[in-house]
Structure 1
């Protein structure tokens, strides 16, 4: 699946090339992207050295530069998944429940297996291979309550030199005893993991209370304490996914004005705080998310699968909230960001709104990087950035190939990719200039 192609030396990649320059909602469609029909990207020692038209770059290449030419293909930044659960890999496509029953009947039994380090190691390998096969090079990842689940994930990510973010679940109530910690042990275990992994290579740690109902006020306070004590940490949790969940939060935290206020009260909002879902938010909550520079992970496949509701992307745009895209495996039914964009388009259609292909690819790349405060490193093909990118095959399937022959514009080709594309459309995946997945 992977190869040993080194990220050292200088390699020029020739193909059609696309990346986002900003949010189309702010810049307008025409100003939001950069595209070269016959482009060239030069990569040296794991970083992008140059980007532009092939005809302009080729004469300046140093002698001995390797050139790799891809026909009928598109190079884009690696996809960025802003919300996913690696322990749920083995329970994807579990039938017939909405959120709270789904957690009880499927999620918690699956996560108890991660007390075994060998199981955690096996699943982490399968999980990361699936990410790479689908062109995802960076993800914000839930572990389980077990510290060994995070050790296994980071060890696997480190082997591939991936920029990844993960954390141990903190959960001290309303869950099976085998999956609960305490405020003290959750703090202690998280702190040890932070000291072991945060900032090591391309890895980052996320303080990870599962969601408000499974953490006591005391535990949420210790999560805030961890964020204050360590520079550059992330905070990753769930917010307003399901209406029954929201009512439960009101019962558990009657002194707070709403679900978001529970997190706000414990100092969990901020520029590296990512809240999955946010399906049922009022304008005041959106305003507060924007004020604190917090982000939302839009998880359309999961929201449809669990019947949770339809995320209001125009509302988030109006309030200028940072939004990334999340597959939310295992409630999400695909690791493919292309298929997740397919579902996002349908979610917008059901609300009488449209999701333009340029906005879609922004959400899957630069938008996700901005949500994770990583846009200086990934999510872009800007010279100087880390060379995490992928090669998409316009002829991945017979139907896609035939449909592409009818396409008359770039945005139409992108829409075909996000509607008909899946893992088969990903020809190659690169991290820091090294090929780490090849379909062929």
Structure 2
């Protein structure tokens, strides 16, 4: 297995990005198809290598949550392939005319979508990020440098090398996809210095990783901090629907960033709904932590502290608060939320619109589970993360979000007067 200095990798990516930017949509889609085909042919090898890394992780005492994120089983592998196939089916994000006009002198002015250039992806444990990131970057005409966690180095390298073969077979430059093969923090430190060659960094992992990356580089960073997601049950909510949405938001997968962490219940329906909610959450083994008013209605649950309202549990724990109307709910969300995903359950269109307009989050869900905020459900296919920033992207980061634009002016010998 060959290794290259990080600077060499960055330079190669910059050169590849120039060629990739002009690759036609048909060639990029062909590359994605060949990448999926190549991966399918080594499925058995991927599962075997990943199994070895799982065994090693268990021997080293890694948590079950880490093991779950690290695991590539048959279902996960098929999911990875399907994401590559779906991203290929998306409309071309490049060369779209975003705006245009012809001025009074006859100069034709266009605003056109183009790739960002070179994307660096730094991530922990999840091998599916390797395929998702490569797929999204190739679709959007960006060269990508992958740097996964050392716990999945063999799996990630095998996946990357195979996708490189597929992309090259479609005629794309060899260095359109690259992976850093050196474990340890030194390579990451070097990557953060490559502002001459890398246009954007996207860290995927815990808050500590994201903070370390953002504070250690001059390269723009698309950040995804906490997913402190809320669901507000309004006074007029349909009880059955409210319980189903709240339970799905929390219980469908507790360890993900769009899982529900704080439930807000309007005081006008709290007495009726809280016992139903408690029963449903208890059957799913969810620990509730409540405000003073919630504890009065649900005696025996743990008290919620100020820290609870600030916490992304990623665990079977849910904080619950009774609020006095929609304005109080919105104020709580905007104060404690992380700008990820927040929802309302209501039968009032006016109340839904008020919530939508006033809640400052990347995704606002109306009568829908917070778990539906993501690339797949939004029709983006694969994504490389969910941004809680506002510049330059917000929410799921798919092919469209990895583009910028350039201005093009067509003249006929036009001169400034």
TM-score, normalised on structure 2? 0.30
RCO higher in structure (CA 8 A, sep ≥6): 1
More strand by share: 1
* Bigger radius of gyration among the two: 2
